[in-house]
Amino acid sequence: MFLPVNTTHRTETAPDFRDEEITSFVEIFFNKGRQFIHTMGSRLTPCYLFEPAVITDRAEKFKRAFQSHLPDTGFYYAMKSNNFPDVSGTILKSDFGLDVSSGVELELALELGATNIVFSGPGKTETELDMAVMNNDKVVVLMDSLTELKRLEERAARINKKIRTGVRLTTEPTGLWKKFGILPENLNKFIQAAKACPHIRFQGLQFHSSWNMAPEKQVKFIEKLGQILGALPERHRGMIRFIDIGGGYWPEQGEWILETQEMEKQRNGRGKAIRINPSTPIEHFAEEISQALFLHIHNQINCRIYFEPGRWISNDAMHIIIKVMDKKYDNLVITDAGINAVGWERFETDYFPVLNLSQPAMTEKDCLILGSLCTPHDVWGYRYWGEDIKEGDLLMIPTQGAYTYSLGQAFIKAVPPVLSFP
């Protein structure tokens, strides 16, 4: 039996770090959890719960934010953030294209009937390039280097097809991120080389920055890009029909991090502080990015602006449901699922509320919520929200739609199935 939520918030043992935003989040998802269980029962755990309506809502909200400022836009969902086919299938209905980064993703996009695809990423193989060229009416290849330009020309020439292309510009010329794209100062040289390739239709540019809590990094690079464009010969500027500014938009709830200096205490099941890294609404991203584009880009060229949101779209659309199989101690339970479901030790560093749907209450209590894998790092959380916890209770970890399902792996246990709701 699922009890009504006691909305009086209190914390037992865990430190008093609570924020209105977190308690509001918990209350919302307790209510959602009741709806899930009422509709679907407890017939299958563990599982991912997928909400197609959330994908549609997020897609429309993202489009509205940018279309209210920019006259010519294109939107592409980054499949890598969640590669469950129904996620991409749902977003295609919202007039999105798909952003793919491998032949596997490209093949899936084509199977789903996508007709507007951008293919990005370094190190594309001949087989992947062949697939793109064979589907040149549907695919734009975002090249990553001069080597890839030459290879793509060779593959296209073999079957005498022309392919639409752009090139990625690296935003960080030092460190690991320099693996992506070409240096902006080499753009003119690259365009010159592309013009010499009879099967390459060079049309645009791409750049990307990740983990954007606010638009500062994107705005700063747009300003730099304006300077790069200004230095190009006019004949080369005129070839640019689109600029793809990538993704990396963080969802509004921000990032909730377990403080690392307390890690040992945390692993011993004691209270642990939470640091909230706030994000900004997508409307603020749209306003600031659009203003930068008008100031630095559209005063030089008229081009379409592409966006590649991934996490921002998929994050809120999936939740994980697990069951308590064993209460070994008052402060330690074992569940029927392991973190192979998400593919990495996420919950040792990231805080997500664990909600006891069987005994809901706005009370958070210290308890190690552990999985059933043969590793001590199989951690779902260090606390749960609820009146109590016992064997058979159903637990929910909300908003697990981004970089979880795609990373899931069959380590000891299978990746849980996905159930769509409603």
- The structural domains of the chain, with segments of one domain joined by +, span 10-51+318-420, 53-314
pLDDT at 260: 65
* Residue with token string 């004691």: 270
* Residue 107, pLDDT above cutoff 70: yes
Q: What's the number of CA atoms in the CB half-sphere (13 Å) around residue 179?
A: 6
Residue 362 near residue 23, CB atoms below 8 Å: yes
* Residue 17, pLDDT above cutoff 80: no
pLDDT at 267: 47
Report residue 261's pLDDT band, with 50, 70 and 90 as the boundaries. low
Residue 92 near residue 117, CB atoms below 8 Å: no
Active-site option among 47, 197, 367, 374: 374
Between 169 and 40, the more confident residue is 169
pLDDT at 4: 39
Show contacts of 417-420: CB within 8 Å, 24+ apart: 417/44, 417/47, 417/48, 418/47, 418/48, 418/49, 418/50, 418/84, 418/86, 418/318, 419/40, 419/44, 419/47, 419/48, 419/49, 419/50, 420/50, 420/51, 420/52, 420/86
Q: How confident is the model over 97-108, as a mean pLDDT?
A: 99
Burial string for 171-180 (b: 16+ CB within 10 Å, else e) reads beeeeeeeeb
pLDDT at 355: 99
Report residue 284's pLDDT band, with 50, 70 and 90 as the boundaries. very high
Report residue 271's pLDDT band, with 50, 70 and 90 as the boundaries. low
Tell me the C-alpha to C-alpha distance, in Å, between residue 390 and each of 326, 356, 373. 8, 10, 20
Q: How confident is the model over 407-418, as a mean pLDDT?
A: 96
* Residue 15, pLDDT above cutoff 60: no
Q: Tell me the pTM.
A: 0.93
Known catalytic residue at 47? no
Provide the CATH topology of domain 10-51+318-420. Answer: Lyase, Ornithine Decarboxylase; Chain A, domain 1 (2.40.37)
pLDDT (tens digit, 9 = 90+) per residue, 144-164?
A: 999 999 999 999 999 999 999
Determine what percent of the chain is predicted with pLDDT higher than 90: 88
Give the Cα separation of 50 and 250 in Å (integer). 20
Provide the CATH topology of domain 53-314. Answer: TIM Barrel (3.20.20)
Report residue 9's pLDDT band, with 50, 70 and 90 as the boundaries. very low
Q: How confident is the model over 325-342, as a mean pLDDT?
A: 98
Determine what percent of the chain is predicted with pLDDT higher than 70: 92
Burial string for 247-277 (b: 16+ CB within 10 Å, else e) reads bbbbbbbeebebeeeeeeebeebebbeeeee
How far is residue 264 CA from its own chain's centroid? 29
pLDDT (tens digit, 9 = 90+) per residue, 375-391?
A: 999 999 999 999 999 99
* Residue 339, pLDDT above cutoff 60: yes
